[in-house]
Amino acid sequence: QKEVEQNSGPLSVPEGAIASLNCTYSDRGSQSFFWYRQYSGKSPELIMSIYSNGDKEDGRFTAQLNKASQYVSLLIRDSQPSDSATYLCAVNEDSWGKFQFGAGTQVVVTP
- Which positions lie near other proteins, rule CB under 8 A? 4, 6, 8, 31-32, 34, 36, 43-46, 49, 51, 88, 90, 92, 94-104
Q: Which is nearer to other proteins, 11 or 17 (CB)?
A: 11
Q: Is the Cα torsion angle 69, 23, 72, 100 positive or negative in sign?
A: positive
CB of 24 to other proteins, least distance (A): 14
Q: Which is nearer to other proteins, 77 or 98 (CB)?
A: 98
- Shortest CA distance to 5 belongs to which of 30, 40, 17, 14? 30
Q: Which is nearer to other proteins, 5 or 17 (CB)?
A: 5
Q: Which is nearer to other proteins, 38 or 70 (CB)?
A: 38
CB of 16 to other proteins, least distance (A): 28
Q: What is the DSSP letter of 97?
A: S
DSSP-assigned letters across all residues of 73-86: EEEESS--GGG-EE
CB of 55 to other proteins, least distance (A): 19
Q: What count of other Cβ atoms lies within 10 Å of the Cβ of residue 26?
A: 14
CB of 17 to other proteins, least distance (A): 25
* Spatial distance between the Cα atoms of 90 and 61, rounded to a whole number of angstroms: 16
